[in-house]
Structure 1
Amino acid sequence: MIPIRSDVRVWLAVGRTDIRRGMNGLALQVQEALGRDPHAGDLYVFRGAKGDLIKILWHDGLGMSLYAKRLEKGRFLWPSPADGVVGISASQLAYMLDYAS
């Protein structure tokens, strides 16, 4: 499990992301598409087209980390692309990682 502080901001990149992207490609997407700084300490969560894989990009102050979780059954629930960038709490992220549908 990612050691998430309760005061950290978590942003869902709504819509579909090319999940083949690595750390640098996702950091560039955070800068260009979301208009945010990937080195600011926030967590950025991306979901693939099938909905069974998410990647989380996080800079902890020392370096960039990329976490991935693939579900064997079910999909991660995700907001509509019309919702724009969606912020959730650290506890909501923990729930999402533990109890995907």
Structure 2
Amino acid sequence: MLKVLWWTGDGLCLLAKRLERGRFVWPQADSGSVALTPAQLSMLLEGIDWRRPERTWRPTSAL
């Protein structure tokens, strides 16, 4: 599960996401915190390895 807090200028927003399959590829936290670019955050939330952009799992079909 991934939880993200971000400041919108007038308050905080919370996003919680759990992947059905695959995994989140988290960057190394050398200084105790992690700073992500918008592109890295987008790929992280989609379950894409941002170091090698390809999905860790792709749905086969929607029922």
Q: Settle same-fold status: TM greater than 0.5.
A: yes
**Amino acid in structure 2 at the alignment position of 1:95:** M
Structure 1 residues without counterparts, runs of 5 or longer: 1-52
**Amino acid in structure 1 at the alignment position of 2:36:** I
Structure 2 residues without counterparts, runs of 5 or longer: 49-55, 57-63
Question: In the alignment, does 2:39 pair up with 1:91?
Answer: yes
* Distance change (3 Å), C-alpha of 1:92 and 1:79: closer
Tell me the TM-score normalised to structure 2 length: 0.60
What is the SS of the residue equivalent to 1:87?
A: coil
| Contact persistence 2:5–2:13 (CA under 8 A) | yes
Deviation at 1:80, TM superposition (A): 4.1
Percent identical among aligned pairs is 44
- The ranges of structure 1 where at least 4 consecutive aligned residues each deviate by more than 6 angstroms after the TM superposition are none
RMSD of aligned Cα (Å): 1.7
Which structure features the higher share of helix residues? 1
What is the SS of the residue equivalent to 2:4?
A: strand
**Amino acid in structure 1 at the alignment position of 2:17:** K
Question: Looking at CA atoms only, which structure, 1 or 2, has the larger radius of gyration?
Answer: 2
Which structure features the higher share of strand residues? 1
2:17 equivalent in structure 1: 69
Tell me the TM-score normalised to structure 1 length: 0.41
Say how many residue pairs are matched. Answer: 48
